[in-house]
Amino acid sequence: MSGALDLQAPAEDVILLLFLMVGCAIFLLRPRTYREKAQYCVIVPDVIDLELFARALHRIAATGQGMQRFSNSYLGRVVGGAEEAALRFLIDLQAEEITSERSVAGCLAVAMGKVAWDKNQINRSLIAKLKGDYPEMGIFRAANTYLGHTRVIKSKKGEGYAIPTSPVPELVAANLAAERHWCAHFVELVKDKKDFN
């Protein structure tokens, strides 16, 4: 809780900051459809029931539950876009909620990365507000189940670098968040033969 200066704030602000450290999910961004410089994404949930939310987070973190999760591993936290990260987190959260009641009303996805005008620090590059549910959430779930895998490629220096294998989950998530048809702009993904293949 201390850095260059000790944290000096009212108690409710300190509690909020402590909650944000454990209540927010962090994802690594590797965008392909939108050539942005975003590298990280912080998912800030809009919590409406803190007790349900805490229980769901605890179950997500538990191992050996046997449920398929999209974001409970390192490679599961490598996604194409901020919207995809948010929807993965929401799907995992809802899968762990035992009752039909929801613990979050939605979330805020904050993409961070280097920008051209500031090479020294990471800046916010995108903010997307997502609802807790979409009618086409099943389509996004299917896209993630069948196409939302991550592979590790080697850089020129021989180091491993994780990237999503397909840009489809990123595109579907971005479309849902923007209230577009889930397959809008799909033709742009397959206009080149190598992308089509």
**5 domain residue, yes or no:** no
pLDDT tens, residue by residue, 91-133: 888 887 777 788 899 999 988 876 666 666 666 678 899 998 8
Q: What pLDDT, on a 0 to 100 scale, did the predictor assign at position 34? A: 47
User: pLDDT tens digit string along 15-64?
Assistant: 777 777 778 888 988 876 445 555 889 999 999 988 888 888 888 777 54
Is 100 part of a structural domain of the chain? yes
Q: Domain count of the chain? A: 1
> CA 55 to CA 163: how far, in whole Å?
31
In sequence order, what are the residues at sequence separation of 6 or more whose Cβ sits closer than 8 angstroms to the Cβ of residue 47? 23, 53, 103, 104
Residue 33 within a domain: yes
What's this model's pTM, rounded to 2 decimal places?
Answer: 0.80
CB 100 within 8 A of CB 55: no
Assigned domain for 3 exists: no
At position 25, the amino acid (one-letter code) is: A
Tell me if 123 is assigned to some domain: yes
Range of the domain at 21: 11-196
